[in-house]
Structure 1
Amino acid sequence: MHLRQFGRTPWTVSEIGFGAWAIGGSWGDVEQDQAERALHAALDAGMTFIDTADVYGDGRSETIIAKVLKERRGDRPVVATKAGRRLDPHVAEGYNAENLTAFVERSLRNLQVDALDLVQLHCPPTEVYYRPEVFEALDRMVEAGKLRFYGVSVEKAEEALKAIEYPNVASVQIIYNIFRQRPAELFFREAKARDIAVIVRVPLASGLLTGKMKRDTQFAADDHRNFNRQGEAFDVGETFAGVPYEQGLGTVDALRALVPEGMTMAQFALKWILANDAVTVAIPGAKSPEQAEANAAASDMPPLDGTTLRAIGDLYEQDIKRFVHHRW
């Protein structure tokens, strides 16, 4: 497992981390024991970065992480969580010191720690990025010892660019994958210049880029790939990266010919992400030990060659760009 420097922090983290949304909820049923085994397998395979949120399973993801880490010895991984999506309604005014403090205190209890490694604003309304008092509230929590660093999780590249104008934003989490290439145009360059860590979420486009889905694939009622196809519950870009399902399947079929021998489609998609040195860590989810181990194995596989990278770029331009590029 290769490591990368996490921006301006003292941490070096595995370039492939563990995305803990799936073990919390909204991805179909995942039994507690299975979730714990998946996380253990990820850590055994060398992952040293875990990403979660207080709303994943209403705290279930955080409490599973706490239980697993309590059972393990050795160095503790970096655990990043998120705050803000518990607001109802989810409006900019809710991102105030009182609410953020309450969210942080709850995550401290769930994760059973005295200080959170990294707290990220959880895809807040765009207006929040234009409210300095929000970031000042986070500064005060750092000063109080409640958190070590903070960052943002964004929907749009423009939000990311605005967020990194605040001097103490340490990281940005953003969707970047074969189907969502816009962050590499400008944001990545600015992030590198400011030494900002970049956390890549939705790296497999909600599973589309695993190559395992078909036109008749069925998703559980409580799986966001069923209930958020049109953005009914949250931003549609979080589900299949915002690409129409049928279109995505067609492009995946075209991508198959580019996958090197000995590499799965999912590993191929992760290697494409890691080819950009602005990326700090990609956080695919895993609902089983086998998935976690396969994700981790991608790190040590050979990089994709230039011809393959150009062919992926061409497919994006031809098939996908018109659906997503202008939106996020």
Structure 2
Amino acid sequence: MVGAMEYRDIPRAGFRVSRLTLGTVEFGMEYGIGKPGSSLRPTAAEAETVIQTAIDHGINLFDTAPAYGESEIFLGTILAGIGHGELRIATKVGPFGDAAISTDAVRQSLERSLCNLQRDRLDLVQIHNATAAQLYHSPLMETLVRARERGDIGAIGASVYGEEAALASLRHPDIATLQIAYNLLDRRMADKVLPSAKERGIAVMGRSVFLKGALTPRRRYLPEHLNKLKNFAEKAAAWAEGHALTLPEAALRFCLANDTLNSVLIGVSSLQELHTALSIAGRGPLPARQRAEACGLAIADEKLIDPRFWGIDS
């Protein structure tokens, strides 16, 4: 790794986090684009090595969720064995979809997360797939605020899809963090959401950096009905190659070049993938000229850049 890990303040949460966040969905369930019939999920021993290596290289924030299979339990067990120290966990509540949200359901979710993660306090609880209706017309936020006042959670965040939900989250006075999709092909949040977050002092975590594997060599495993997406990824790969970059390097360094992203969430399924990501991050952000060129690779078709529309299971 060329450079040391950078850290950024989360102003409304009162702690600092590493510029890289380690996503742990891969540890709890099958996730991402992979060779048909093969598993991307690491073994327990492999996952523990990945987490310990991440900590050794300065990563202090781990993202999980009740919806990520066994991820919370897995992460809680591993970190309990390692020791918490200054490590932070960002978990979630929900997703609730269009269902009515009850106070009891929210409380039970928080209690399960505390138990699964083996902690007395949850550093950051994000509303999973938050919507404006959930934020302003349900008991969800009131219940979370009360949990924060009791000391059960440290800060409240929102993980969102779409500009409308993002802007609604930014307007809420109790939201400390916003998690959004942002990558070489998806810059939908760049024009309004990121400037608004900066103005309001709300920390932003960028996810989907590698677009579930589409911006890595695993793009060759995209199903036939996503050939259009594959073509855009190949175009991005050709651009990267023209600058002596691999596509994953261009993808991660592009996100790191956006200073409004307090932390960039990476998901890995092996120690090798983690080492690669750490090495890339150590080379720093893309230079301004390359970043400006890379902005031209973005596409607007949400059915291509939003995995919810891909029609694949993981």
| TM tier, smaller | 0.7 to 0.9
Partner of 2:34: none
Partner of 2:155: 149
- Whether 2:211 is the aligned partner of 1:205: answer yes
Please show how residues 128-167 of structure 1 align to structure 2 within 5 Å. Answer: 128-131=134-137, 133-167=139-173
- Whether 2:200 is the aligned partner of 1:256: answer no
Please show how residues 17-96 of structure 1 align to structure 2 within 5 Å. Answer: 17-27=21-31, 28=39, 29-57=41-69, 60-73=70-83, 75-85=85-95, 90-94=97-101, 96=102
1:113 is aligned, of 94, 119, 129, to 119
Q: CA deviation at 1:132?
A: 6.0
Partner of 2:312: none
Partner of 1:314: 296
Partner of 2:17: 13
Partner of 1:239: none
1:173 partner SS: strand
Please give the TM-score of this superposition, normalised by the length of structure 1. 0.82
| Distance 1:252-1:69 versus aligned 2 partners, 3 A rule | same
Contact between 2:13 and 2:154, CA under 8 Å: does it hold in 1?
Answer: no
Q: CA deviation at 1:76?
A: 3.0
Contact between 1:181 and 1:325, CA under 8 Å: does it hold in 2?
Answer: no
Query: Unaligned stretches of 5+ in structure 2?
Result: 32-38, 309-314
- Whether 2:277 is the aligned partner of 1:298: answer no
CA distance in 2, matches of 1:180, 1:109: 36
Please show how residues 268-283 of structure 1 align to structure 2 within 5 Å. Answer: 268-283=250-265
Contact between 2:131 and 2:160, CA under 8 Å: does it hold in 1?
Answer: no
Please show how residues 158-237 of structure 1 align to structure 2 within 5 Å. Answer: 158-214=164-220, 217=221
CA distance in 2, matches of 1:134, 1:213: 38
Give the letter for the 2:12 counterpart. R
Query: Unaligned stretches of 5+ in structure 1?
Result: 219-225, 230-243
CA distance in 2, matches of 1:98, 1:279: 34
Q: How big is each residue's C-alpha offset from its partner over 1:253-296, in whole Å with a ceiling of 9 and x where there is no partner?
A: 22224337775422321111111111011111111111112222
Contact between 1:15 and 1:299, CA under 8 Å: does it hold in 2?
Answer: no
Contact between 1:129 and 1:159, CA under 8 Å: does it hold in 2?
Answer: no
CA distance in 2, matches of 1:254, 1:198: 28
Task: Give percent identity, aligned residues only.
Answer: 28
2:206 partner SS: strand
Contact between 2:185 and 2:297, CA under 8 Å: does it hold in 1?
Answer: no
Q: CA deviation at 1:213?
A: 2.4
Q: How big is each residue's C-alpha offset from its partner over 1:52-89, in whole Å with a ceiling of 9 and x where there is no partner?
A: 001211xx11122112212224733110001113x5xx
Partner of 1:4: 8
CA distance in 2, matches of 1:74, 1:142: 20
Matched positions, count = 294
1:199 partner SS: strand
| Distance 1:296-1:108 versus aligned 2 partners, 3 A rule | same
CA distance in 2, matches of 1:268, 1:24: 28
Q: CA deviation at 1:122?
A: 0.7
Q: Which moved more, 1:303-312 or 1:199-208?
A: 303-312
Contact between 1:138 and 1:150, CA under 8 Å: does it hold in 2?
Answer: yes
| Distance 1:190-1:286 versus aligned 2 partners, 3 A rule | same
RMSD: 2.5
Q: Which moved more, 1:262-271 or 1:11-20?
A: 262-271
Contact between 1:199 and 1:279, CA under 8 Å: does it hold in 2?
Answer: yes
Contact between 1:180 and 1:325, CA under 8 Å: does it hold in 2?
Answer: no
Give the letter for the 1:181 counterpart. R
| Distance 1:39-1:210 versus aligned 2 partners, 3 A rule | same
Q: How big is each residue's C-alpha offset from its partner over 1:149-202, in whole Å with a ceiling of 9 and x where there is no partner?
A: 111111112111111222111001111111210111101111011111111111
1:23 partner SS: helix
